[in-house]
Chains A and B, each alone.
Chain A
């Protein structure tokens, strides 16, 4: 069966040039980047070259880049590495679980932990910077707001929040996992002191990531061990993964310079508009005319989150997968079942919407022809599900 992959916010395929770059480090090159000998020096050189590529993507100095195992570690390191007992943390209700659950943990740690404010979002999924300002307390040490939402693609006003953080003398972290490669990540322009990315969301392999830590920011490590990554992250460097991330950062940077984001946006818009034109009682969560044009809420170029009234997301996803189209809804829990989306719930779109929405996320490997296939399959499948939906039949009868 033909299989089409429109779930690039979950993970992206490895790019051929990234594989070529990392391959020697899997195949024949040995070397611990901390070793004194020739092999170690080769590995060190490769790791540092990758650090420069990532620094270029971030617009920072290489020494400000800490390699991690991925987005979750970067987020946890940013939070637990900055916060001290009794500190107040400000974050939002639509963060990825890597921040959301870390923040809840901070609140539950009692005397070892501290306070958390979860700032809500509007119906478009956007946080109001003034709400962040109002949440500030004398003991606020850190603000953590994601750059782009993984479910809706909505971009948060990071630069404005950055100014508020700077004005208050508070550290500012952004989870940029879903922004990397899709929008420019200039840490100075964004005004962040910490920024985390994940390799496998930008066509590098799973198991590698990076955290930007602004020079002078005091960061406690999560792990204890060797003095790797300037004592900010103990553990032997994942040389193949880091080399791959360096190459992927290079490709992402070049792509943005070339206007790759505009191509993705055009493809996403054709997909989105094509579905909306064919399917009645459907719309975009955190996007579409109301949010994007009227309320000026921007989105990353590859993501659309659609609702179809009177059908549930879960059977739609399964039915599409059985026909060869991979997309997603909500968040998968440990069993693999789908839980209602906390993001759409936080946008107060109602339980139906939180269960009835699907996310389509494109990648640079996707083609117009694949969009055509989806434009045929999705309306067909929605129509079939509505035929057997009692609430839809009632709605049509009225």
Chain B
């Protein structure tokens, strides 16, 4: 293992998973002063016992099992370790917007909100408070300073299958300049091998997949249980299921039950498969149609964060490959600035199920130019 000439004070965000555990072990072995921190973000017991909510949840974020694993890893490699409580901030900046977005007929990505507000904002602050100038995470991404542009770049990782840059488009220059992504040049099997070499018992622990605070990925049940806990009524957004031509074909129980592109659970039996095309929060109408009607070429993207460039002048255009959901192959498009933090994206080829609330991330080869929220 090579020793860096400069020893850094680094706080590693430890989730109790293989990736961040490997990061802690690697940086410690390289001779850095490493502190492990786990963020307590959500109390899994809060909604337990409510309808549809499990009694206790193992193996997900903030679960005691994961804290136990992270603590054991820190102990084994011999670094200080603490659990820090950011539940209030997480609820305010991630959970509440998540619920509000669904109620407004959009399909949110809490992981991006969490990265922007918690992992790369609150966590950097906490790190600095406890004396660490740097943070390191187990994300699969790369960052580097580009002398030519004078900007910090976010780049896709070596392991394309694990690429997490889609969730990291909101990082600021300040955040990128103080963050280390030690897994950016490794593949997942290599990371597991590093964990094995370090003798970590959790080297074979399976990856987590779901939204960490939503048991079983059942976001409808979660929203209902959360509103109930807050003594709020689920807003009545029941309405009509209509075709693009305006023909009413059924009634529905609330717009939060729908996502653009959804096929199951529409409650209509017609000859050919029907999909959700649009959700209208004001009229509570949900427009459904055939698969090919899901295709569209254009979208507005709001709250754009530029990384590789400082910004676009009004009316200025750039070419990029644009990714509109986590499992989407970026598609070539022209991006046109419409106002300071808003752009219009025109794809070369129509794309299926452009979904309001999801992120649109602009790639230029390896580099993340920027990204924003589909409006």
CA distance A63 to B130 in the complex (A): 52
CA distance A337 to B41 in the complex (A): 10
Residue B67 interfacial (CB < 8 Å): yes
Contact of B83 among A315, A321, A322, A337 (CB under 8 A): A337
Across the two chains, which residue of chain A brings its CB closest to B125? A388
> Which of B35, B80, B84, B125 sits near A337, CB closer than 8 Å?
B84
Residue total for B at the interface (Cβ-Cβ under 8 A): 20
- Residues in A whose Cβ lies below 8 Å from that of B40: 333, 335, 337
Q: In the complex, are the beta carbons of A336 and B80 less than 8 A apart?
A: no
* In the complex, B126 has a CB within 8 A of chain A: yes
Question: Is A314 a contact of B85 with CB atoms below 8 Å?
Answer: yes
B35 touches A335 (CB 8 A): no
What is the distance, in angstroms, from A309's C-beta to the closest C-beta of chain B? 15
Residues of A within 8 A of B38 (CB): 335
Closest to B45 in A: A334
Shortest Cβ distance from residue A336 to the other chain B in the assembled complex, whole angstroms: 4
A234 within 8 A of B: no
CB neighbors of B among A301-355 (8 A): 312, 314-316, 318-319, 321-322, 333-339
- State A252–B71 Cα separation when bound (angstroms): 36
B-chain residues with CB within 8 Å of residue A335 when the two chains form the complex? 38, 40, 62, 64, 67, 83
In angstroms, Cα B83 to Cα A314, docked, is 10
Cβ-neighbour of B130 out of A322, A333, A336, A337 (below 8 A) = A322
| Cβ-closest chain B residue relative to A339 | B85
B126 surroundings in chain A (CB, below 8 A): 315
Is A121 at the interface (CB under 8 A from chain B)? no
Q: How far is the CB of B10 from chain A (nearest CB, A)?
A: 13
**Selected contact of A336 from candidates B35, B71, B128, CB within 8 Å:** B71
Minimum Cβ distance to chain B for residue A3 (Å):
12
Asked if A100 lies at the interface with its beta carbon under 8 angstroms from chain B, I say: no
Chain A interface size, as a band, is: 10 to 19
B295-327 interface code vs A (CB 8 A; 1 in, 0 out):
000000000000000000000000000000000
Contact across chains for A319 and B64 when beta carbons are under 8 A apart: no
Tell me if A319 and B129 are in contact (CB < 8 A): yes
A385 in the interface (beta carbon within 8 A): yes
Looking at B62, B67, B80, B131, the one whose CB has the most chain A CB atoms below 10 A away is B131
B82 interface residue per 8 A CB criterion? yes
- Digit string of B68-101 for contact with A (CB within 8 Å is 1, else 0)? 0001000000001011110100000000000000
Interface string of A366-398 (1 = CB under 8 A from B): 000000000000000000010010000000000
Chain B residues with CB under 8 A of A318:
82, 84, 129-130
Which among A319, A322, A337 has the highest number of chain B CB atoms within 10 Å?
A337
- Interfacial chain A residues near B82, Cβ < 8 Å: 318, 321, 336
> What residues of A have a CB within 8 angstroms of the CB of B129 in the complex?
312, 315-316, 318-319, 385, 388
Q: Which residue of B lies closest to A387 (CB)?
A: B128
Selected from A316, A336, A338, the residue in CB contact (under 8 A) with B67 is A336
Residue on A nearest B38 in the bound complex, by CB: A335
Q: Which residue among A316, A335, A339, A385 has the maximum number of chain B CB atoms within 10 Å of its CB? A: A335
Q: Bound complex: CA of A322 vs CA of B37, how far in Å?
A: 13
In A279-314, which residues have CB < 8 Å from any B CB? 312, 314
Instruction: Please determine whether A319 and B130 come into contact, CB atoms closer than 8 angstroms.
Output: yes
Report the Cα distance A333→B125, complex, angstroms: 22
In the complex, chain B residues 105-145 whose Cβ is within 8 Å of any chain A Cβ = 125-126, 128-131
A-B contact pairs, 10 of them (CB 8 A): A314-B84, A318-B129, A318-B130, A319-B129, A319-B131, A333-B40, A334-B64, A337-B87, A338-B84, A388-B128
B interface residues with partner A (beta carbon < 8 Å) = 35, 38, 40, 43, 62, 64, 67, 71, 80, 82-85, 87, 125-126, 128-131
**Besides the known contacts A316-B129, A321-B82, A335-B83, 14 further A-B residue pairs in the complex with CB atoms under 8 A apart:** A314-B85, A315-B129, A318-B84, A318-B130, A319-B131, A321-B80, A322-B80, A322-B130, A334-B64, A337-B40, A337-B84, A337-B85, A339-B85, A388-B128
Question: Ordered nearest first, which 5 A-B pairs have the shortest CB separation?
Answer: A315-B129, A337-B40, A337-B85, A337-B83, A336-B83
